[in-house]
Amino acid sequence: MKMNAVVAGVGMTRFGKMLDRGLKSIGAEAVEAAIKDAGIDKSEIEAAFVGNAAAGLVTGQECIRGQVVLRSAGIGRIPVINVENACASASTALHQAAAMVTAGLYDVVLALGVEKLYDEDKRKSFAAFSGAVDVEALAEIMERLKKGAEETGAAKATEGAGQNRSMFMDIYAASARNHMKRYGTTERHFARIAAKNSFHGSLNPRAQFREKLTIEDVLNSPMIAEPLTRPMCSPIGDGAAATIIVSERKAAQMGLTSPVRISSMVLRSGWDHGGDEPGLVEVCSSEAYAESGVGPHDINVMEVHDASAPAELMAYESLGLCAKGEGGAMVDSGATWLGGTIPVNTSGGLLRKGHPVGATGIAQIVELTEQLQGRSGDRQVAGAKVALAHNGGGNIGSDAAAMCVTILVR
């Protein structure tokens, strides 16, 4: 959808393990930071869209999640719409906020993504991910993953999915093994992505993990599900991210000096298609490029959904940065590092910044907005004017259940 909305302010918490804090405390921190960044009063907010995926399972807050969080932050009376779309919950909330502003219904809208995944009972966290597939087909999915692992000799991946790890790591591992078999991609390519994102994350004070890793560190880490070692898998996390979205009329009234405009946001769900047909990411990104009048090589900085290192490599191909099968060569070129031709995941990505699933999509927008405004410190991409965010959620069949691709311009 072509948008006509401006990001007036952004805010987020550091991502991490917050066993001593609840959704209200975490969410309020991000909301207050975004309001302060925008330079507005809470009373100016006309509506709010709140993304969250797992509170019902992890905290027991099954309903009115957004109202509970915002009331604690002193925000009431306005319409509050709760949004769940698995790992794309926050980007979906932002899509709705930007659409309402574009349509002229509101001038000032809050979009918030907030999540608590850490719990003393880890089974709750893993259950949240198991609920992001078709649960009526869960036994069949698990059996298919196990059979695929056995056929490829992936011993570690034959057991433990959904029990001692998110089953999504097994889904990503299966995709990685297929990519390796078809295109000759190697574990070292995936390790190089994890090392890159660890370097970027080391420069980000809000990242969950800030230790720099070498390729060998990544390869020598514990195996989770072949070929994924631990640093190739995104961690769970707690955290929140928020944006204040305004109309161009309101932006002019506010006198914003460095406005970042949402040029396009394309939100679609997956469908059944052939393996060699364009998939969900290709369709969403092609539409976003067309609406914004830019191409993949016009993008200066990207945040992509690297829930696993192979997922980032495959995103290069699906987003048009390189042809199918050439992701490994792109990794080797160094193009996606800071200082390269197209830096990807300057925040550290999901691998190092962390992945509180209901907050991730807006956290990407926070990073990219600050990049476009020259506020990213040691990880600043010089002269960045066009940015892209790629955020997916859930899985049905061979594709994501939901996908949102956003293009921002300054």
Please report the domains of the chain, with CATH numbers, ordered by start residue. Answer: 2-120+236-409 (3.40.47.10), 131-232 (no CATH)
Q: What is the DSSP string of 33-46?
A: HHHHHHT--GGG--
Catalytic residue among 87, 284, 322, 404: 87
| Separation between Cα atoms, residue 106 and residue 85, nearest integer Å | 23
Give 349's Cβ-side CA count (13 Å radius).
35
Q: Give the whole-number percent of the chain exceeding pLDDT 70.
A: 98
Per-residue pLDDT, 152: 81
> pLDDT tens digits for 214-269?
999 999 999 999 999 999 999 999 999 999 999 999 999 999 988 999 999 999 99
| Separation between Cα atoms, residue 315 and residue 299, nearest integer Å | 14
| Phi, psi torsion values for 394, nearest 5 degrees | 70, 175
| Separation between Cα atoms, residue 165 and residue 173, nearest integer Å | 12
355 in catalytic set:
yes
Q: What is the DSSP string of 340-359?
A: SSS-B-TT-HHHHT---TTT
Percent of the chain as helix, strand, coil, to the nearest 5: 45, 20, 35
pTM, 2 dp: 0.96
Neighbour-count burial of 9, counting CB atoms closer than 10 A to its CB (0-12 exposed, 13-18 middle, 19+ buried): buried
**CA-based diameter of the chain, in Å?**
62
> pLDDT tens digits for 24-49?
999 999 999 999 999 999 999 999 99
Strand partners, 112: 50, 242
Return the minimum-mean-pLDDT range out of 151-160, 261-270, 350-359. Answer: 151-160
For residues 287 and 266, the answer to whether their CB atoms sit within 8 Å is yes
Q: What is the DSSP string of 142-179?
A: HHHHHHHHHHTT-GGGGS-BTTTB-HHHHHHHHHHHHH
Per DSSP bridges, beta strands 239-246 and 260-269 are unpaired
For residues 358 and 90, the answer to whether their CB atoms sit within 8 Å is yes
Q: Return mean pLDDT, the chain.
A: 95
The candidate with the shortest Cα–Cα distance to 241, out of 118, 349, 110, is 110
Q: What is the mean pLDDT of residues 4-15?
A: 97
| Separation between Cα atoms, residue 220 and residue 191, nearest integer Å | 10
For residues 34 and 49, the answer to whether their CB atoms sit within 8 Å is no
Per-residue pLDDT, 140: 87
Catalytic residue among 233, 355, 390, 404: 355
179 in catalytic set:
no
